[in-house]
């Protein structure tokens, strides 16, 4: 093997090790892409996102405009999906401002709010 090939193989192995390791240093406790899901209590976490129009206070229903995988990800507490849904609602539905939060019930019964969407979300 040439020295260039050795370096490429070493870089490939390093990337394959670094990607799953990034899960352990991330702040999002609900992201389980590299976790052992059969042993993880995070699958029992149930979350709900509540978004309200800043002007009227009207509550947005996530089941209507969203594809079913997005609804599943919201129920599992993915904050990035909640933010994306809010931005989508601003652009597609014409809201001028939105406020809301992601609320999750943990397996032990504790209720946590891992994400607050209190800032103005619509550009």
- Same structural domain for residues 58 and 107? yes
Same domain, residue pair 49 and 23: no
Pick from 23-27, 44-48, 74-78, 101-105 the range whose average pLDDT is largest: 101-105
Proportion of the chain above pLDDT 70, given as a percent: 77
Highest mean pLDDT among 10-14, 45-49, 62-66, 79-83: 10-14
Residue 39 domain-assigned (yes or no): no
pTM: 0.60
**pLDDT tens digit sequence for 32-48:** 665 555 566 777 788 88
Residue 56, in any domain of the structure: yes
Please count the structural domains in the chain: 2
Three-class secondary structure of residue 84 per DSSP: helix
Judge if 49 and 29 occupy the same domain.
no
Give residue 5's pLDDT: 94
Query: In the predicted model, what is the mean pLDDT of the chain?
Result: 79
Instruction: Assess whether 80 and 122 both reside in one domain.
Output: yes
The two tokens of residue 104 are 């999750």
Rounded Cα distance between 123 and 115, Å, is 19
67 in the same domain as 111? yes
Q: Which residue range(s) make up the domain with 84?
A: 45-123
90: how many CB neighbours lie within 10 A of its CB? 17
Rounded to whole angstroms, the Cα distance separating 86 from 49 reads 10
Q: Kindly compute the dihedral angle of the four CA atoms of residues 51, 58, 66, 103, in this order, to the nearest 10 degrees.
A: 30
Q: Which range among 34-38, 69-73, 102-106 shows the weakest confidence by mean pLDDT?
A: 34-38
């Amino acid at each position: 093997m040439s020295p260039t090939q050795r370096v490429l193989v070493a870089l490939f192995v390093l990337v394959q090790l670094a990607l799953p390791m990034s899960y352990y240093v991330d702040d999002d406790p609900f992201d389980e892409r590299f976790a052992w899901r059969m042993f993880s209590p995070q699958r029992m976490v149930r979350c709900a996102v509540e978004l309200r129009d800043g002007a009227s206070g009207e509550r947005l229903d996530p089941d209507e405009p969203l594809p079913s995988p997005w609804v599943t990800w919201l129920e599992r507490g993915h904050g990035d999906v909640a933010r994306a849904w809010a931005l989508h609602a601003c652009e597609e539905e014409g809201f001028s401002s939105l406020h809301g939060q992601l609320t999750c019930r943990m397996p032990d019964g504790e209720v946590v709010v891992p994400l607050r969407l209190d800032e103005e979300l619509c550009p």
